[in-house]
Every structure is written in C-alpha cells, then in structure tokens.
C-alpha cells in the first residue's frame, strides 16, 4: 500500500512524542512492505513563530494532498496567560478541522489491563470498560459567531447546530454501535438548551433507522457523573463538540492516563490522528512525556485511515507487551511500588519499536 502522510508535530511535547508515532509507522511499513511517504508541516505556536499564522496556507495545502495526518499537540502558556492576544495557536487546530471537514472525532477508551492500577478509579469499577466516543468536531460553540463589545465588557459565543450536522455524525455513531455492543448514549442538555433539543430530536429520528441499537439520552451533567460511577454501562457515546471535549478528557482517567489515548478525526476526505493529551508545556523537552498515545494515534491511522487492521493490532499488542513487562513512563507509573521500570520518552519509544 502506498500512502502520503503529513506529520504536524505542533507545540510543547508534540514534537517529542510525534517522533515515535512516525517511527512506528516507518517500522510497520518496513515489516509489511508498505510505502509511506512523509512530509512535515507547522501549526500552532510553532507556526506563529515562523510565519505569524497558526495555520499557514502551505500546511493546509499539504494536508489536503495527504492521505492521513499525524498530529502532536497545540498550545502555549504565553497565550493562556494573556487572553487578549488576537492570534492564538488553537485557531490553527480549529481551522484545519473545519477546512478538511473533519466532523467526526472518534475517541476510543482503550483499557490496558496492566494499567488498571494507574487510574484513580477502583479497578473493579473499571474492568471491562470499552467506550467509543463520537464527538462532533466542526460545529457548536467552537465555531459559532464570537463577539466582544466595544467597551470590552461583554463577550459572547454562539452555540449553534444545524440538523444535517447532527445527522451525519449520528449515522456514523449508530453504524459503529451496530458493529459493537449495540448501545448508544446521546449526551446533551436538552432540558435547558435549544441546540440540545434539536440534537435530541434529530438523534431520536435517526434512531428509528437503527432499530437493532438501543438508544439512551442523557444530560451532560448526569453523564459526567455516570462516567466515573459506572463506566461499563457505556458502549458508544455520541455528543456535541463542547460536551465531547469535556467528557473525553474526563474519560481519560479511566484509561489510567491521558498519555494512553488517541483520537481519529474523519469526515469528508483525509483523516487526522492525534493523542488526546495537550501540549503540556510544563514537561516539554524534559524527556518525561508518554509517547504511547502518539504510537496509538499511528495505530488508529492504520486501522481507521487505511483499513490495515493487522498492522494496527501489531502496534497495540506490542504496547500491551511492553506494559506487561513492567515498563512505564512517569505518568502511568505507580510511585508507591518499585515494581515498575520507569522510562523516559525516547527509551519507551525505542523499546516499542524493538
């Protein structure tokens, strides 16, 4: 198989983890005889520093030409501390999602048995959890009109949904549920928000086309609670952009660490694969980051982007093996025992490749 892959390392720990996601893809190509051609491009703070813009045209052009994109992370303390800055790294990520039509963000909560102990949640609550989130990615309050009054004392963001936006992601989520445990939970705030009432109505309609899938509707506040109270009850979770952002980060605690979760954004053409963790500038460059989410992003690219199931499985199994052997990065090492061999980013990356 011949594929063009664009690598966008981004900010913070992005570059150091993406190195290993890319290396994993190279290794897979070598083993299975595929031809993966790599290009690199800038986005976020890294791009602002060089070009003044968070998403340079050149990056967008390369992205459009690619079969898949491996992304690192975005964001920088400078902007977080100064809300008045006009040009911001995250605008690059939002723009590329919108421009490439990446409306469906898939976030599987993959539970490595070996990491059950690393979670703050009790192992008996977690065991058996297997959730696939479908987060809508190109609508909602993320993309609605923003205003700031002239006196700067009033600010607003429009939370808005169109029926077709809900329909297209609902279909994807239901199709996935059919392949899994045939349960779908749609999360909204329909008791308060009009956009959520449109969401719920639309999902109720689409549900009729998938009579083999059991549908539940849940309010976001309740979902945030149920997710840690009883994560096993969820199979596919379908939700809007903002609620999905919150719920999936929360769910990362289920997997023991954000450092272990990857996401796939798909839609109209190319796919976009990234760790769900952020740029973590506080540990950037210190060889402390966990490269496994980037390697798992590569696995998602192989599976969802290219349909290469066997190749993806090899990566996941290898990570499982490495964890079984007791190797950990800092974020997933239980500090209270010395059963684990704690590795830096690069050592862990090398080990998986070997």
Ligand X SMILES: CC(C)[C@H](C(=O)O)[C@@H](O)C(=O)O
Q: Residue 287 CB, nearest distance to a second copy (Å)?
A: 22
d(CA 351, CA 354) in angstroms, rounded, equals 5
Nearer Cβ to a second copy, position 37 or 191?
191
Kindly state whether residue 335 participates in binding a second copy, applying the rule CB under 8 A.
Answer: no
Interface residue with a second copy, options 2, 147, 179, 208 (CB under 8 A): 147
Kindly state whether residue 77 participates in binding a second copy, applying the rule CB under 8 A.
Answer: no
Kindly state whether residue 105 participates in binding a second copy, applying the rule CB under 8 A.
Answer: no
d(CA 294, CA 260) in angstroms, rounded, equals 8
The binding site consists of: 97, 107, 135, 221, 245, 249
Interface residue with ligand X, options 74, 132, 322, 348 (CB under 6 A): 74
Tell me the number of residues near a second copy by CB under 8 A. 65
Residue 86 CA neighbour count, 13 Å, CB half: 4
d(CA 51, CA 42) in angstroms, rounded, equals 9
Kindly state whether residue 214 participates in binding ligand X, applying the rule CB under 6 A.
Answer: no
Q: Residue 33 CB, nearest distance to a second copy (Å)?
A: 40
d(CA 183, CA 166) in angstroms, rounded, equals 18
Interface residue with a second copy, options 58, 78, 225, 310 (CB under 8 A): 225
The binding site for Mg(2+) consists of: 221, 245, 249
Partners of 213 in the β-ladder? none
CA 300 to chain centroid: 10
Q: How far apart are the first and last CA of the chain?
A: 23
Q: Residue 136 CB, nearest distance to a second copy (Å)?
A: 14
Q: Select from 303, 345, 285 the least CA-distant residue to 25.
A: 303
Interface residue with a second copy, options 26, 245, 287, 347 (CB under 8 A): 245
CA 235 to chain centroid: 17
Name, in order, each residue with C-beta under 8 angstroms of 91's C-beta and a sequence gap of 6 or more. 54, 55
d(CA 272, CA 352) in angstroms, rounded, equals 22
Kindly state whether residue 250 participates in binding ligand X, applying the rule CB under 6 A.
Answer: no
Of ligand X, a second copy, none, which one sits near residue 50, judging by CB under 5 to 8 A according to partner kind? none
Kindly state whether residue 192 participates in binding a second copy, applying the rule CB under 8 A.
Answer: yes
Q: Residue 212 CB, nearest distance to a second copy (Å)?
A: 21
Q: Select from 286, 295, 227 the least CA-distant residue to 261.
A: 295
- Using CB under 6 A, list all residues that contact ligand X: 74-75, 90, 93, 191-192, 221, 245
């Amino acid at each position: 198989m011949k594929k063009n892959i664009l690598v966008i390392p981004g900010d913070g720990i992005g570059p150091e983890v993406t190195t290993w996601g890319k290396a994993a893809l190279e290794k897979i190509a070598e083993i299975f005889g595929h031809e993966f051609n790599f290009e690199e491009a800038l986005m976020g703070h890294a791009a602002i520093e060089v070009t003044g813009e968070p998403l340079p045209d050149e990056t967008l052009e390369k992205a459009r030409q690619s079969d898949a994109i491996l992304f690192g992370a975005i964001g920088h303390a400078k902007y977080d501390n100064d809300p008045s800055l006009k040009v911001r790294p995250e605008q690059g990520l939002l723009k590329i999602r919108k421009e490439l039509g990446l409306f469906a963000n898939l976030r599987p909560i993959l539970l490595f048995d070996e990491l059950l102990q690393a979670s703050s949640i009790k192992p008996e609550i977690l065991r058996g959890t297997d959730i696939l989130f479908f987060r809508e990615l190109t609508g909602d309050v993320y993309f609605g009109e923003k205003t700031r009054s002239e006196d700067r004392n009033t600010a607003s963001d429009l939370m808005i949904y169109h029926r077709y936006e809900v329909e297209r992601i609902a279909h994807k989520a239901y199709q996935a549920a059919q392949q899994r445990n045939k349960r779908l939970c749609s999360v909204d705030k329909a008791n308060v928000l009009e956009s959520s009432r449109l969401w719920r109505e639309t999902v109720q309609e689409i549900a009729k086309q998938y009579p083999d899938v059991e549908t539940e509707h849940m309010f976001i506040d309740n979902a945030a609670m149920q997710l840690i109270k009883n994560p096993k009850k969820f199979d596919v979770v379908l939700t809007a952009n903002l609620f999905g952002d919150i719920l999936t980060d929360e769910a990362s605690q289920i997997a023991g660490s954000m450092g272990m979760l990857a996401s796939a954004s798909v839609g109209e053409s190319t796919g976009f694969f990234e760790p769900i963790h952020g740029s973590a500038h506080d540990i950037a460059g210190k060889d402390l980051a966990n490269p496994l989410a980037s390697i798992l992003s590569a696995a998602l690219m192989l599976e969802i982007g290219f349909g290469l199931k066997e190749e993806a499985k090899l990566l996941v199994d290898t990570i499982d093996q490495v964890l079984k052997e007791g190797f950990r990065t800092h974020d997933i090492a239980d500090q209270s025992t010395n059963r684990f061999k704690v590795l830096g980013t690069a050592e862990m990356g090398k080990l998986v490749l070997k």
